[in-house]
Amino acid sequence: MDLLTRRALLVHGAGLALAGTLPAWAEAPSSDAFLADLERRTFDFFWETTDARTGLAPDRWPTPSFASIAAVGFALSAYPVGVARGYITRAQARERTLNTLRFFVGLPQGPGKRGVAGYKGFFYHFLDMKEGLRFDRCELSTVDTGLLLMGALHAQSFFDGEHADEARIRALVDELYGRVDWAWAQVRPPSIGHGWTPENGHIPNDWKGYNEAMLVYLLALGSPTRPVKPEAYDAWLSTYDAHSWGESYGQTLLRFPPLFGHQFTHCWVDFRGIRDAYMAKKGFDYFENSRRATYAQQAYGQANPLGWRGYSAEVWGISASDGPADITLAYTTTTGKTERRRFISYAGRGMGLYDDGTLAPYASGSSIAFAPEIVVPTLMAIKERHPHTWGRYGFWDSFNPSFNYPDVKLTHGRIEPGKGWVDTDMLGIDQGPLLAMMGNHRGELIWQVMRQNEHLVKGLRKAGFTGGWLG
């Protein structure tokens, strides 16, 4: 289906997406083989780089790094995908999952600066790869703990058999989830804060506006031991109009510049046909919102307002990712204008936000379940036009065709002669949503399982979601 036909459908039948009934888009045999290869490589990233004894997943690879608790959450969801695809056996996945959960349940918690992995049931954003204890002076993170727990809940519902280890997995997840004191994070109730450090106390920010933190509120509402009241979710919704709702590149939607905010919660929650009070008034669901966000990003890539090299309707995708370096340099745009431009080593990039010409394949790729008709051709075009972005575990994290400064000291990556900068790392928190959403696109592998999780269902109902598969 070409883009013009697609847009015509949106004008005359935008409601098709409400129940997940968008017209079918058939993948060619060549694209199916490409996706199968990409999915296997991305799965192998988690299976081969995660510590089999502890379940700790590195923040990045191959550069030595600390562990990311968010990457652990994505790893826990990767194992069932591997079973479904036949990459590993159920017994192998069960053993790795049980090791992970035992390790995390056994980690020490407390208010100290060192020698602990978390506090009040939450975990520090980064843990050292050997002992699983707080890395450096990082923060206790509510959203990264949420990503860890989403992967754990997926494991809980996937391992539903009578085997003693599967029963143990389910019990450990309840223990891990039940420890989290969500009310403690409501420093400015009823909203939930970003996190805490023992050095400075609670971070002076709450989760507001539409972004990836919807999963935080759903988990807090669905807690089996310390749930927050529905007023917390009402407060979350009350910030949408001021922070998020509007027009963007031909789309009307809840806006969030980086694509990951439109993807993370969707990795585990099938929003097709279910709506909360806010979206019921708007007349469509969050799945449709993410589909619109994906089309807006493609339109931004085509418009290329900043004149970066490589942007087009076929190659696009801006989200949080590595970049070449923190430096301001003279850059000559595609229109011939030379001006000073700031480049960044790592940022939560998005349309018009920290856009320094860096593209991330996972950014477009993690929207594959929303708009495969534009995402699959984009992934294939990136590999074809920029083969240096492809490696052992699929796509390297990011690349920047505009950054051709061989004498600059790089923070990450390398310069590919004549092609610009390319990362030489892969990030767990970026590989994770790509694998999860490929699994949902090709068989609803995570969505089907998570629809059975009583904690998630409870959280959605308390948030006011109705319709669709919720009944």
Say if residue 294's pLDDT is above 50.
Answer: yes
Distance, first Cα to last Cα, the chain:
32
Query: What single letter denotes the amino acid at residue 179?
Result: R
- pLDDT band, very low/low/confident/very high, at 3 (cuts 50, 70, 90): very low
- pLDDT band, very low/low/confident/very high, at 100 (cuts 50, 70, 90): very high
1-49+254-448 fold: Glycosyltransferase (1.50.10)
Say if residue 18's pLDDT is above 60.
Answer: no
Q: What is the DSSP letter of 228?
A: P
Say if residue 57's pLDDT is above 80.
Answer: yes
pLDDT of amino acid 28:
74
50-243 fold: Glycosyltransferase (1.50.10)
Burial of 204: CB neighbours in 10 Å, binned 0-12, 13-18, 19+: exposed
pLDDT of amino acid 29:
72
pLDDT of amino acid 4:
29
- Tell which residue, 262, 273, 271, 206, has the closest CA to residue 233: 206
User: Domain extents for the chain?
Assistant: 1-49+254-448, 50-243
pLDDT of amino acid 471:
85
Say if residue 80's pLDDT is above 60.
Answer: yes
pLDDT of amino acid 155:
98
- Tell which residue, 292, 206, 207, 205, has the closest CA to residue 245: 292
Note the pLDDT tens digit of each residue in 169-199: 999 999 999 999 999 999 999 999 999 999 9
* pLDDT (average), residues 30-50: 97
Note the pLDDT tens digit of each residue in 322-348: 999 999 999 999 999 999 999 999 999
Answer whether 410's CB lies under 8 Å from 399's CB.
no
Note the pLDDT tens digit of each residue in 355-367: 999 999 999 999 9
276-284, long-range: CB < 8 A, 24+ apart: 276/233, 276/237, 276/463, 276/464, 276/465, 277/237, 277/464, 278/237, 278/240, 280/466, 283/15, 284/14, 284/15, 284/17, 284/18
Say if residue 9's pLDDT is above 60.
Answer: no
Note the pLDDT tens digit of each residue in 194-241: 999 999 999 999 999 999 999 999 999 999 999 999 999 999 999 999
Residue with tokens 């993807």: 263
Arithmetic mean of pLDDT over the chain:
94
Q: What residues contact residue 206 under an 8 Å CB cut-off, 6+ apart?
A: 187, 188, 191, 192, 193, 194
Note the pLDDT tens digit of each residue in 21-36: 344 556 777 899 999 9
CA distance to 4, 319, 390, per residue, from 439 (Å): 28, 20, 20
How long, in residues, is the chain? 471
Rg of the chain on CA atoms, in Å: 21
Say if residue 12's pLDDT is above 60.
Answer: no
Q: Which helix (H) or strand (E) holds 373?
A: helix 372-385
* pLDDT (average), residues 39-60: 98
171-177, long-range: CB < 8 A, 24+ apart: 172/98, 172/101, 172/102, 172/105, 173/101, 174/224, 175/105, 176/101, 176/104, 176/105, 176/149, 176/152, 177/149, 177/152, 177/153, 177/219, 177/223, 177/224, 177/225, 177/455
CA 454 distance to own-chain centroid: 22
- 1-49+254-448 and 50-243 have identical folds: yes
Note the pLDDT tens digit of each residue in 405-459: 999 999 999 999 999 999 999 999 999 999 999 999 999 999 999 999 999 999 9
